Chains A and B, each alone.
Chain A
Amino acid sequence: MKKGLQRLALGTLGLLAGLGAAQAEDLKIGMITTLSGGGSSLGIDVRDGFLLAVKQSGAQDVEVMVEDDARKPDLAKQIADKFIQRDKVDILTGIIWSNLAMAVVPSTVRQDIFYISPNAGPSALAGKGCHENYFNVAWQNDNLHEAMGGYVQANGFKKPYILAPNYPAGKDALTGFKRYYQGDLAGETYTKLGQKDYAAEIAQIREAKPDSIFFFLPGGMGIAFMKQYAQAGIDAPVFGPAFSFDQGILKAVGDAALGVKNTSQWSKDIDNPANKAFVAAFQAEYDRLPSLYASQGYDAANLILAAKAKAGGTGDKAAFRAALEQADFASVRGAFKFASNHHPVQDIYVREVVKEGDVLTNKIVGVGLAGHANAYVGDCKM
């Protein structure tokens, strides 16, 4: 918490001009995110994007407290308790992983605290378990997979081989893909979560002779798969969601990623003023290219700030909620609105991995699904 205070104090130092952080705070935001151990680069990007937006706004009456959940659900829950009970926050945000979100979100929103998700969007919270105080700025977890399913179908592939880890997000991924790709499959494989050697699966892919590959293997799993696939001498093109091809991870995948098509709701070359300003400001502030996750953190903060301005703080919860629902802010994705279950309705782009000079990055080559919401809107009784 002190770290968060310190960070914010540093960020707003110029504006506060020596007043310090001691004055009364109007809006308290608790950010629980993964800053240590595996997967910390995602949490760090979300945090940096979020704090950048708060800093740019110059708001003096916003306090952001940041704590590390070390990717442990019970630690996340403990921090949430602390933020809510001791620090009396108005809003929680920041969680990267679905299993941590499932531990924190249901009890948080029931205590009449808002939860604004900058990443995790499990189907359980979009359908039957939706809640008026829960908003997801990023996506419903199935979105990118659905868009890729649609793109693969539209581009005339007849025999994709699909694989994902054997856990809920992996199953949602393949189900999402098949929701929009309705042809035959060359094969469907679930791998062990955390597996790093795909020799056996790649041999099965070779045996099945697919015309394309779709995979969802987040983090180190995807890096390993891409490097090993590149060595296998199979020429079926690879498709996947952005996770294995985003800015932070591309360098580790290396040239094996060149030419891969991936789906994302954001890209640094989306042509609108908000995005241009974001990319430039992020690079100036942190000296690296922003990632998808940074854009989500940035949008989450701007959504909150816009709603605060409109409703005059969170004092009137109904007014604040209504302001959040209107989502009247300049998203880096361009047009942005919420579906009735508080998940985005947005364009999902198809990007291709290219080289700009020596740096691997993405450029948009098409739209997978335009104005896409999610499959759970009907299940949400709100």
Chain B
Amino acid sequence: MSVAFLIEQLLNGVQFGVMLFLMAAGLTLVFGVMGLINLAHGSLFMLGAFFCSWIAEISGSFWLGLGGGFLAAAAAGALIEIAVIRRLYDRDHLDQVLATFALILIFSEVVRWVFGDQPLYLDIPPLLSGALPLPGGGGYPVYRMAIIFAGLVTALGLYLLIAKTRLGMRIRAGESDREMIGALGVDIRTLYTAVFALGAALAGLAGGLVGALQSVQVGMGEPVLILAFVVIVIGGIGSVKGALVGSVLVGLTDTLGRVFLPQAFKLLLPASEAATVGSALASVAIYLLMAVVLAWRPKGLFPVNA
């Protein structure tokens, strides 16, 4: 096993994690500020990918598509916040889970209605195609490197937004005392809509970025949604820092588990059985990680006192 191989797999883990962060950041923000658990976040991811793919197809430009996906998801987020989500803030989590579960069904069918049953095509922009050389031989796709970069920029941007801006001040105030900021005369409805749309836009961005690597199809948001939930639960729901740490942890665990568990079992079992058992364990590795973290720290790694 070469050094380049190890570096490549570590990069893969980080890249997967950073992509999850784009999803998890929105989820955890919405939970932190509004106390809302949103299962339809995966649908916004899907929406971003579909719009990105559609606009890229019409305009011939991936970048226009990516911007379009970002905006479409933000608009859809604002729309469902005003129409539905707003009514759920003072409900219990059960109502929130069910209402947003209903939104998943609605979004999936509507997208299928509008865009058809076949998966859509979205390609990597020429600027980012090809591979970068790695030390020790081999190469790493430029596009994946770009995703890592985009994720880190987003993390930094979110940090600055929350720590340095007026909106961020209100978000922090909202996290610590919801009634108080209302009393201080902040227009809380607009704030909530803005935060929700921001989370949605990040999900849409992730959808567009990932759509070029994977397939753009109905239902693509659900596996990512569950992973994003695992991430924010591990990190501590409501904590953006926790989401970043959690996503990199989950990304690394998943990637390294897939690579090394089957190989580890080859020491104990015949090759084909080792592949089966190893991959079976690898597919549950992140859930095991989550169970262990929660058994140890029931409120995640970075608990938020909300």
Tell me whether A191 and B213 are in contact (CB under 8 A): no
Tell me whether A199 and B212 are in contact (CB under 8 A): no
**Alpha-carbon distance between A166 and B16 when the two chains are bound, in angstroms:** 21
Contact of A227 among B109, B214, B279 (CB under 8 A): B214
A window 5-49: CB within 8 A of B: 36-38, 40-41, 44
Number of interface residues of B (CB under 8 A): 50
Tell me whether A192 and B220 are in contact (CB under 8 A): no
Interface mask (A181-224 → B, CB under 8 Å = 1, otherwise 0): 00000001111111011011101101100000000000110011
Tell me whether B112 and A223 are in contact (CB under 8 A): no
Among A249-257, A294-302, A320-328, the one that faces the other chain is A249-257
A152 to chain B, nearest CB (A): 19
Tell me whether A223 and B214 are in contact (CB under 8 A): yes
Number of interface residues of A (CB under 8 A): 40
In the complex, A233 has a CB within 8 A of chain B: yes
Contact of A192 among B109, B118, B217, B258 (CB under 8 A): B258
Tell me whether A220 and B214 are in contact (CB under 8 A): yes
What residues of B have a CB within 8 angstroms of the CB of A228 in the complex?
A: 141, 213-214
Whether A223 contacts B119 in the complex (CB less than 8 A), given A36-B109, A232-B131, comes out as: yes
B187 to chain A, nearest CB (A): 40
Tell me whether B213 and A197 are in contact (CB under 8 A): yes
Tell me whether A232 and B141 are in contact (CB under 8 A): yes
Q: With CB as the reference atom, state the residue of chain B lying closest to A250.
A: B121
Tell me whether A231 and B124 are in contact (CB under 8 A): yes
Tell me whether A41 and B276 are in contact (CB under 8 A): no
**Alpha-carbon distance between A233 and B258 when the two chains are bound, in angstroms:** 22
What residues of B have a CB within 8 angstroms of the CB of A194 in the complex?
A: 223
In the complex, B138 has a CB within 8 A of chain A: yes
In the complex, A248 has a CB within 8 A of chain B: yes
Whether A44 contacts B212 in the complex (CB less than 8 A), given A36-B112, A37-B219, A190-B276, comes out as: no
Q: With CB as the reference atom, state the residue of chain B lying closest to A43.
A: B117
Whether A206 contacts B138 in the complex (CB less than 8 A), given A191-B258, A192-B282, A249-B118, comes out as: yes
**Alpha-carbon distance between A314 and B215 when the two chains are bound, in angstroms:** 44
Interface mask (B134-169 → A, CB under 8 Å = 1, otherwise 0): 000011010110000000000000000000000000
What residues of A have a CB within 8 angstroms of the CB of B117 in the complex?
A: 40-41, 44
Interface mask (B263-275 → A, CB under 8 Å = 1, otherwise 0): 0000000011001
In the complex, B60 has a CB within 8 A of chain A: no
Contact of A224 among B141, B213, B275 (CB under 8 A): B213
**Alpha-carbon distance between A190 and B258 when the two chains are bound, in angstroms:** 9
B265 to chain A, nearest CB (A): 11
Tell me whether A191 and B5 are in contact (CB under 8 A): no
Contact of B118 among A166, A189, A196, A252 (CB under 8 A): A252
**Alpha-carbon distance between A82 and B141 when the two chains are bound, in angstroms:** 52
B18 to chain A, nearest CB (A): 12
In the complex, B248 has a CB within 8 A of chain A: no
What residues of B have a CB within 8 angstroms of the CB of A207 in the complex?
A: 1-2, 5, 138
Tell me whether B279 and A220 are in contact (CB under 8 A): no
**Alpha-carbon distance between A220 and B279 when the two chains are bound, in angstroms:** 20
Q: List 24 A-B contacts (CB under 8 A).
A: A37-B108, A40-B112, A189-B279, A191-B258, A192-B283, A193-B283, A196-B215, A197-B16, A197-B214, A200-B13, A201-B258, A204-B5, A204-B259, A206-B138, A219-B215, A223-B217, A224-B215, A227-B212, A231-B131, A231-B141, A231-B143, A232-B139, A233-B141, A252-B120
Given contacts A191-B279, A197-B213, A223-B215, 4 further A-B contacts (CB under 8 A): A38-B219, A196-B223, A233-B141, A252-B120
Identify the A interface with B (CB < 8 A): 36-38, 40-41, 44, 166, 171, 188-194, 196-197, 199-201, 203-204, 206-207, 219-220, 223-224, 227-228, 231-233, 248-249, 251-255
Identify the B interface with A (CB < 8 A): 1-2, 5, 8-9, 12-13, 15-16, 108-109, 112, 117-121, 123-124, 129-131, 138-139, 141, 143-144, 210, 212-220, 223, 255, 258-259, 262, 271-272, 275-276, 279-280, 282-283
- 9 pairs of A and B residues whose beta carbons are closest in the complex: A223-B215, A220-B215, A199-B12, A252-B119, A224-B214, A192-B283, A190-B279, A233-B131, A196-B214
